[in-house]
Amino acid sequence: MLEGFNEMDALTDRGFLPGMSKEEREQVARSETLAIRLSNIANMVLFAAKVYASVRSGSLAIIASTLDSLLDLLSGFILWFTAFSMQTPNPYRYPIGKKRMQPLVSFVSTCTFYNSFSRELFS
């Protein structure tokens, strides 16, 4: 567990906890990459199965679930694109860096999900 805000700030700034060795950081990075890829593959397979089920059944509940899976895929793509663009710095266009993009993307994704949820709820 984290002991306080100082450790959380270090984790946020560096991407790892102080005291972790280089090998531990690389192992954590590999594990995170594998988990992200497996999650994206599972979301794609689930989305394809739900599209098939939606077309075959015509059920509104399955169509709503398909829309939810599409939003999961969209959020994964947005977060991947954000992480990718944060890794390619451009000091002339973004002099203070792109590290503040992730909270903004999270906020925009949340607004998108809320909008789609409220449309499903009120229809």
- Asked if residue 56 belongs to a domain, the reply is yes
Highest mean pLDDT among 44-53, 59-68, 74-83, 100-109: 44-53
Tokens (6 digits) for 62: 């399955």
Alpha helices in the chain (DSSP H): 5-14, 22-57, 60-87, 101-122
The overall pTM is greater than 0.85: no
Give the torsion sign (CA, 17, 21, 26, 27): negative
Which pLDDT band, with edges at 50, 70 and 90, does 2 fall under? very low
Highest average pLDDT, of 62-66, 71-75, 87-91, 107-111, comes from: 62-66
Burial letters 83-99, b for 16+ CB under 10 A, else e? eeebeeeeeeeeeeebe
Whether residue 6 is contained in a domain is answered as no
- Low-confidence winner among 10-14, 64-68, 83-87 (lowest mean pLDDT): 10-14
Domain-embedded: residue 79: yes
What crossing angle do the helices spanning 101-122 and 60-87 adopt, rounded to 10°? 170
Is 11 inside any structural domain?
no
